[in-house]
Amino acid sequence: MRIGFISTRLNGADGVSLEVEKWMTVLTRMGHECFFCAGELGGYAAGGTLIPRLHFKHQSIIALSRRAFGPDRETDPEQLVENIYAVADEIRPPLRAFIRKHKLDVIIVENALAIPMNLPLGVCLTGLIAELGIATIAHDHDFYWERERYQANAILDLLDTTFPPDLPTIRHVTINSIAQRRLKHRRGIDSVVIPNVMDYDTPPPGVDEYNGDFREMLGLSEEDVFVLQPTRVIQRKGIEMAIELVRRLDDPHAHLFITHSAMDEGLDYWHWLQREARLMQVDLQLIDYLVDVKRRMEDGHKIYSLWDAYLHADLVTYPSLYEGFGNALLEAIYFKKLIVVNRYPVYNADIRPLGFEFVELDGYVDDGAVEEVKALLDDQAEVRRRAEKNYELAREHFSFQTLEKKLRAILADFQ
């Protein structure tokens, strides 16, 4: 089949972009041909079709979002909806052209029909799918009712018919069982759960000539404890718990590094974290300037991959308050690391019951967790035992084979 991915952004280290690359890899192995369309393209999608207004950061899209969800919400919802449909009409021709040019059999819409970061795109896709009758997989990573910033809005009727839409040619995919149940309860829409996955049948890479100096680049010695927070700097990541954990380790050699950007949802949270770290005398550093999805040279300097960061970490913190699933958790398992995880709802529902062994938090850093981390940092044999067990469990439940089996069943339903 000829399959087209459509999203707001297919570039960088956000969960959607990372998961699309995995789907592309598995679909290609299955013999399908993949094409890409988004408002920002890079990496595996670099040769795709670029439509700037698909990006949620396009000025026209931001303006509509502010009128719909901002503190100064539109007082005339009918006018706002009319403006949303007007922009949707403008992006429909290039999207239709993308589908027709590549003679697509199936489109996979990545989150754009679930979370209203780009209102006109959701409206446009709903109408286009109905018009063309094209087989569609709506890969729904987040729903608007799961995000506080969308709760107060001026367009509830539009949200409840478009995010997501219920059309006969759409098969919905949710990424956890909680989202599956809520979608069925709120909208009466059935979905298939496909969790985030990793290629656990391919062993992780090791230290090589390129990444051998990574710790040195961070200013770390062999005695230092490299604590890795492999996420974006946004409030739901609960990074303050990682700071508190490092403080309570009471080890001057412990240093906390965050790999991803602080720009996605503004800098207020990052500035607050910096103040908290200073007060607690924790060495907190943002290294997004040094780490990207892939290795590259920039102005004569190395940019390392996220994989390089995982390889050298002594401890990975994942204290999220909420996650759609947990890509970074699967990555930390892949690199067989000592992991501290907060028991966020999806973890409790879909991951914890499988028998993984992590250091767990329950919304705060308790004495037991601190003592467990201290003990494990001094007991590498136990860290290895846990890591091997976690790896095998992840390979059983969250592998590319799991993804292929589920995609094969959905695609067969279209034939």
Q: 15 is written with which tokens?
A: 């969960």
Asked whether residue 367 carries a pLDDT value surpassing 90, the answer given is: yes
Looking at the whole model, is its pTM more than 0.85?
yes
pLDDT at residue 263, rounded to an integer: 77
Quickly state the pLDDT bin for 76 (edges 50, 70, 90): confident
- Least Cα distance to 400 among 18, 140, 23, 109 occurs for 23
Other beta carbons less than 10 A from residue 106's beta carbon = 20
Which candidate, 87, 95, 156, places its Cα nearest to that of 118?
Answer: 87
64 lies in a domain? Answer: yes
Closest residue by Cα to residue 399 from 196, 177, 140, 179: 196
Q: Per-residue pLDDT averaged across 208-234, rounded?
A: 95
Q: Which residue range forms the structural domain that includes residue 134?
A: 2-197+400-414
Same domain, 188 and 233: no
The pLDDT of residue 158: 95
50 and 191 fall within a common domain: yes
The answer on 224 and 168 residing in a single domain is: no
Q: What are phi and psi of 82, to 5 degrees?
A: -60, -40
pLDDT in tens, 47-71: 999 999 999 999 999 999 999 998 7
Terminal alpha carbon distance of the chain: 10
Task: Note the pLDDT of residue 314.
Answer: 98
Residue 188 forms part of a structural domain: yes
Pick 193 or 414 by higher pLDDT. 193
Q: Please give the mean pLDDT across all residues of the chain.
A: 95
pLDDT value at position 266?
75
Residues with Cβ within 8 Å of 287's Cβ and at least 6 positions away in sequence, in order, are 218, 257, 258, 259, 309
CATH assignment at residue 146:
3.40.50.2000
3-state secondary structure of 341: strand
| Residue 90 placed within a domain | yes
Q: How far apart are CA 131 and CA 127, in angstroms?
A: 6
Contact between residue 220 and residue 198 where contact means Cβ atoms under 8 Å apart? no
The answer on 229 and 186 residing in a single domain is no
Number of domains the chain contains: 2
pLDDT digits (tens, 9 = 90+) for 17-31: 989 999 999 999 999
To 10 degrees, what angle do helices 367-377 and 380-397 make?
A: 110
Residue 205 lies in a domain: no
